[in-house]
A and B are shown apart, each in its own frame.
Chain A
Amino acid sequence: MMGRGMARGLLLLVCIGLALQGLWPAIIAPPASDSVAWLILTQSSLPRLAMALLAGFALSLTGEVCQRIFANPLAEPGLLGLSDGASLALSLCLLVAPGLWQAAPGLVAMLGAGAALILVLAIAWGPGLQAQSLLLAGVMVSLCSAAAQALLVLFNHDFLQALLLWQAGSLVQSGWGAGIRMGLQILPVIAALFLMQRPLQLLALGDGAASGLGVDVRAAKLILLGGAAWVTAAVMATLGMIGFIGLAGPALARGLSGRARPGMVQAGIWGGVLLLFADQVARILSGLVGDVPVGAASGLFIGPLLVMLSLRARRLGLPERGVSVAMRPLRRANPVVPWALALAVPVLILAALILGRDEGGLILHGIADLAGVVHWRMPPLLLAGGAGACLSLSGMILQKVLRNPLASPDLLGLGSGAGLAFALALIFLPGDSLISRYLVTGIGAGATLALVAALGLRAGLAPARVLLIGVGIGSSAHAFLVLVLAAGGPKGAALLSWFSGSTGGADLAQAMLPWGVAGLALALVLMLHRWFDLLALDDAIAQGRGLALRPARGLALLLAALTAAAGTIALGPVSFIGLVVPHLAASLGYRATASAALISALIGAALMILAQSLGAMLAWPWPMAPGLICAMICGPWFLWQIRRGAA
């Protein structure tokens, strides 16, 4: 194994080398102070280097702050809904007041991020400002704003391109002005964050211990989160979305320092180095293949980085045990619920078949229309329902086995993998040769699955490591996707509709496929439910009861991945359902694996059928993606549940 010192040295050397490569012409022959080369050096190259270091430092530092507050290695300011809030605000602004977008996009992004943060805080507001409520609320706000934005984009393709560019992030600079402005905005706040280092350390001991040591837990969290949000929003407003540094910087610092808590400075410095590296590679790539935005490039590298860390690092500094979520836990399971849900599925399908809409408003279809209605409406309805059941089951299995309440099917990177395959097929294959999007997305999901499985096996299938591997591969695939989208031009719109979860173009046989997968998976889960109950507890306990951990966990993850693949292929990468539905089942009192699996599958199916039928009518004659509808309906309801649990 490579020594840590060597790894550190090597990374620094490579970064310096890359930076020098860019500056080399200027170094061997210093240009005259009035030449164009001089102008490029002082007004573009050097500011860009400084910007990369500064932004990387800031993003990684705020990531570290969030990870400590939440005691979750997947936490970063983006999880609090900041990026998606900013993105939604920008889309709205572009649509309603394009003038403002021209004048001050940074201000708009800041406002959006601020609104998202305030919403999250308001929802999770309670005595201790509980970490798990905050995280869940953040993820939900983030998903809802993403859904709202996707709806806006679907109906207004024209401004797609400007937004996509912003989302891809760029460090290209012209002069020192932007960097200095950003520095002035964030440096005082970063200084304040450093002053909060001690309370932050105490918060890592848990709320109880921290307040016992005299920390005002709520105030400390407010200040820290507010500061982190400000810094992130400022960087985002200046440079666009540069994801993953907040996640990968601290992870890199942990891996290189060999300590579970590397400290804010270390995290910041390695974040800066990482972004510099990504940006330099993006610069060199741009020279070869055309514009490669750094946000995407950093995603490309961070995937392999996270995978490597999860394979190599002896201690990840991650909790290996589950974290519980503060929802109202004590409701007793009502025996009516399963029957009601089982009945709801056919009733909803029937209602969706009978009810229709035309120019005049709502109409009821008679027997005469039935053949046509069934022919047109049945496949998408069934497809949505089956995919909902699949994704919900997959989410439930993952949350149990990985012992993380934020685990969801897209965490395994399947959605991004399938999307990437689809995007590549759309762009590189001639139009007619695209036989079926199911085939293409199936291949993409399958390849991703094989990759995650192979790497996961090498990491011994330890939950925290599998999580990191999934996130890593997902982020790389996503980065590729953003690149392809940004380069894709008009074809981006077709992709976007797939991404928001659309059900068009299925025939009845295809629509039954996800039902088959869901049924099989459900049967397996019911049969093996004791494995899942034991796996969800703790390795020592499960092993002490005679469970062979690796085969059990391997099979559980495979099952989760297959259902996720089936759902994703049918519907597109809809993360919402898989994340939320298991929590819904738990809040109804169904927590033990057997009942939770059944209830989750039923809720998922019913929700997606409802969403599909609403989507067909709301904006008639334009169909709206059921995945988005689902997020728009359930999101607020779920947020309210978190609110009740937090109060």
Chain B
Amino acid sequence: MTAFVLHGAGFRTDDRILLSDISLTVRQGRVTGILGPNGSGKSTLMRLMAGQIRPSEGEVLFQGRRVADHSARDLARHLAHLPQIPPAVPGMGLRDLVALGRYPWHGALGRFGASDHLAVEAALTRTGLAAFSDRQVDLLSGGERQRGWIAMLLAQGADCLLLDEPTSALDLCHQIEVLGLLRRLNREQGLTVVMVLHDVNLAARFCDDLIALREGRLVDAASADRVTQPDRLSELYGLDMEALAWRGRPVMMPSALFGEDA
């Protein structure tokens, strides 16, 4: 089963080509990471997959149909997207935020019924936020707030999550916690997770497959083990990388860390 299939997809603005000729497959029930240097088109790829922008060439299929052919609500029932920087939500309570995720189910007029309440509570529990549910979102710590947004995605009940740098604002401990949560959701509930990550070691640890982009072009789309080889990463980032072996797993490090001038 495939979640996403891209055929020669590209996106350009009037004066710039952000993404071109991307053909790849994202498998259902897997955790797929998107790697690449800054400006390589990771967020653009995410937004194409989320249906926020339309490809200017080629096509993007989600569950066998073009993303644009799904109705907005139908798409949101199967696909939940979190942008890189979620907006500030002054004065909003956490439970209210999570409840917004139920919109694709009850719609504008439907009653907020028992199943909606259940989904919200389950999402809060699943993310370990049940105790905070009455707090204001903007008063939570960075890690709690990020988990709150993820709880909203969970309440949405989609089978595929798209997250743009879900760990970028978090400390190491919360990064591991959030990625571990996503990993568990994938393993236990079979959710498909696609996320942009910056840390190659976290990507290698928490992702099954990786997509590597550079300057708007696809460099690699393969299993995480194959993409996180030192020579391939060196090429991707234009930076010499070395692999250390530690407790049976490779750890990637820039060579510069060990050099004379470091």
Interface residues of A (CB under 8 A from B): 314, 321-322, 324-325, 329-330, 527-528, 530-531, 533-534, 537-538, 540-541, 543-548, 552, 586, 591-592
Contacts and interface: CB of A to CB of B under 8 A. Distances in A.
A545 B77 contact: no
B154 interface: no
Contacts of B47: 540
Given A534-B100, A592-B92, A541 B86 contact: yes
A527 B108 CA distance: 7
Nearest to A529: B108
Contact of A528 (B76, B82, B83, B109): B109
B91 A528 contact: no
A538 B90 CA distance: 13
B251 to A, nearest CB: 34
B237 interface: no
B132 interface: no
20 contacts: A324-B88, A329-B90, A329-B91, A330-B136, A530-B103, A534-B103, A538-B87, A540-B81, A540-B83, A544-B50, A544-B52, A544-B80, A544-B83, A545-B76, A545-B100, A546-B77, A547-B72, A548-B72, A586-B91, A591-B92
Instruction: Give the secondary structure class of A's interface.
Output: loop
A72 to B, nearest CB: 16
A545 B156 contact: yes
A545 B101 contact: yes
A540 B91 contact: no
Contacts of B86: 538, 541
Interface of B: 14, 47, 50-52, 72-77, 80-83, 86-92, 96, 100-101, 103-104, 106-109, 136, 156
A463 B217 CA distance: 33
A531 to B, nearest CB: 6
Contacts of A325: 90
Contacts of B72: 543, 546-548
Contacts of B81: 540, 544
B103 A545 contact: yes
A541 B89 CA distance: 12
A425 to B, nearest CB: 40
B20 to A, nearest CB: 21
A314 B52 contact: no
B105 to A, nearest CB: 9
A592 B95 CA distance: 12
Contact of A592 (B88, B96, B104, B109): B96
Contact of A537 (B14, B89, B106): B89
Given A527-B109, A541-B83, A591 B73 contact: no
A546 B72 CA distance: 5
A546 B104 contact: yes
A322 B88 contact: yes
B72 to A, nearest CB: 5
Nearest to A545: B103
A556 to B, nearest CB: 11
10 shortest interchain CB distances as A-B pairs = A546-B76, A546-B104, A538-B87, A324-B90, A546-B73, A544-B81, A540-B83, A545-B103, A591-B91, A548-B72
A439 to B, nearest CB: 34
A420 to B, nearest CB: 36
A538 B108 contact: no
Contacts of B87: 321-322, 537-538, 541
Nearest to B104: A546
A546 B108 CA distance: 11
Given A528-B109, A540-B52, A546 B103 contact: yes
Which of A541, A544, A552, A586 counts the most chain B CB atoms within 10 A?
A: A544
Nearest to A555: B108
A314 B107 CA distance: 33
Contacts of A537: 87, 89, 100
Contacts of B50: 540, 543-544
Given A324-B90, A534-B103, A592-B96, A544 B76 contact: yes
Nearest to B110: A530
A321 B92 CA distance: 16
B161 to A, nearest CB: 10
Nearest to B164: A540
Nearest to A546: B76
A546 B92 contact: no
A538 B85 CA distance: 10
Contacts of A541: 83, 86-87, 100
Contacts of A545: 76, 100-101, 103-104, 156
Contact of A538 (B76, B83, B156): B83
A325 B47 CA distance: 30
Contacts of A547: 72, 103
A444 B176 CA distance: 60
A79 to B, nearest CB: 22
A538 B164 CA distance: 15
Given A543-B52, A544-B76, A314 B91 contact: no
Contacts of B96: 533, 592
Contacts of A528: 108-109
B151 to A, nearest CB: 14
B224 to A, nearest CB: 26
B109 A544 contact: no
A546 B136 CA distance: 24
B149 to A, nearest CB: 9
Contacts of B77: 546
Contacts of B82: 544
